[in-house]
Amino acid sequence: MHRLFAMPFAAVYRAYVAKVEKKGRTRAELDEAIRWFTGYDAGALAAHLEAGTTVADFFGRATLNPRSALVTGVVCGVRVEAVEDPLMRTVRILDKLVDELAKGRPMAKVLRA
């Protein structure tokens, strides 16, 4: 098991917030992308962040958007669609969404509308 899976999702979330805000995007846009991907509403996302839910549990309880299969590309030198571990692939898909958001891609394209 990768050590990332045992980390609180709130720690990963803080890094995502810092990344998107540094590039001029908002926390609200990040939250929208996370909610689109995981199926959580605003209250559920806030509850997971407050409760210290681990990354594994956060994604394990999520109802992933079927359109998330359209997310492809490279994150940290790794092709998202080539990642074999399903949980790690899920994490990498969210990483890719955050990268696209931080790079200024329009929200409609980030959310595969």
DSSP letter for each residue of 32-96: HHHHHHH---HHHHHHHHHHT-BHHHHHHS----GGGGG--SEETTEEGGG--SHHHHHHHHHHH
Q: Which CATH architecture has domain 3-110?
A: Orthogonal Bundle (1.10)
pLDDT band, very low/low/confident/very high, at 1 (cuts 50, 70, 90):
low
Q: What is the pTM assigned to this prediction?
A: 0.94
Domain boundaries, the chain: 3-110
Given a cut of 90, whether residue 113 has pLDDT beyond it is: no
- At 45-95, the pLDDT tens digits run 999 999 999 999 999 999 999 999 999 999 989 999 999 999 999 999 999
Specify the pLDDT at position 76: 86
Task: Count other C-beta atoms under 10 Å from residue 26's C-beta.
Answer: 12
Give me the chain's average pLDDT, please.
96
Longest dimension (CA), the chain: 35
Written as six digits, the tokens of 89 are 């692939």
Written as six digits, the tokens of 74 are 């490279």
Specify the pLDDT at position 2: 87
